[in-house]
Amino acid sequence: MADDDAPALDVVFGIAGTSVPVDYAFELADAIARWLPWLVAEPGAGVHRLRTAPTGYGVALLANRAKLALRVPRQRLPDALTLSGRTLDVGGSELVVGSGVARPLRPWATLHAAHVAGGGGDEAAFQEEVRLWLGTRGVACEFITGRRRTVRAAEREIVGFSVVLHGLRPAASLRMQCEGMGTDRALGCGIFVPHKSIAAVA
């Protein structure tokens, strides 16, 4: 699979805003779905985590030049770009979406997902789920699980762990980025991004 033939890509938008709620994932996904109603049900599609800094009063500050990034199937690129110019109400915080650009996925040997849902909070059970997930897809690599994380989505609490995959061959790397792992991609779960080395995520 060549890089530019990968069935998914990232669409990256500039955004104007100052803050979002600390647990913003559900509200952000809901706000985006008002304009892109297909996103939640689209296999492999998801919303990347925003770059934020938490505060002590219930909000997270957006980083300078923060971006909103969506991972979508390649054929959905024209649909995703219609988000440009929209205003998103994220739990009472306003984000204005700027122009969007397509960013092809690249085959990095080491990938990291900050939160993969699964395991019911038990790391050993989660590691077995990861082994099965990789095995059923024929992906040969090593993996490391890390910090336990929780995302709130309305009445649900989504528990999982961070995951690093390393020693990936190019085709497997692109496949994991296109497919992701686990559930709730619209909430930022199970989306793999590149890292130059394991040390970068330690």
For residues 80 and 126, membership in a common domain is answered with: no
Choose the final residue of a domain: 50, 84, 104.
104
Show the domain range for 48: 3-104
Residue 37 has pLDDT above 50, yes or no: yes
What CATH number does residue 138 fall under?
A: 3.30.70.1210
Nearest to 140 by CA among 109, 116, 162, 163: 109
Element (H, E) at 40: none
* pTM, full prediction: 0.90
Mean pLDDT of 67-71: 97
Task: Tally the domains of the chain.
Answer: 2
Residue 67, classed as helix, strand or coil, is strand
Q: Where are the beta strands (DSSP E) in 83-192?
A: 87-90, 93-104, 110-117, 142-153, 156-166
For residues 147 and 66, membership in a common domain is answered with: no
- DSSP-derived letter for residue 167 is S
pLDDT of residue 3: 55
Q: What are 145-190's pLDDT values in tens digits?
A: 998 988 888 788 999 999 999 999 999 999 999 999 999 999 999 9
Choose the final residue of a domain: 73, 104, 135.
104
Average pLDDT score, the chain: 91
Percent of the chain predicted with pLDDT > 70: 95
Q: What angle do CA 8, 61, 116 make, to 5 degrees?
A: 40
pLDDT of residue 200: 38
Grade residue 199 by pLDDT with cuts at 50, 70 and 90.
very low
For residues 116 and 87, membership in a common domain is answered with: no
Choose the final residue of a domain: 89, 104, 119.
104
For residues 82 and 131, membership in a common domain is answered with: no
pLDDT of residue 38: 96
For residues 7 and 79, membership in a common domain is answered with: yes
For residues 122 and 85, membership in a common domain is answered with: no
For residues 143 and 192, membership in a common domain is answered with: yes
Phi-psi region of 92 (alpha: psi -120 to 50; beta: other; left: phi over 0): left
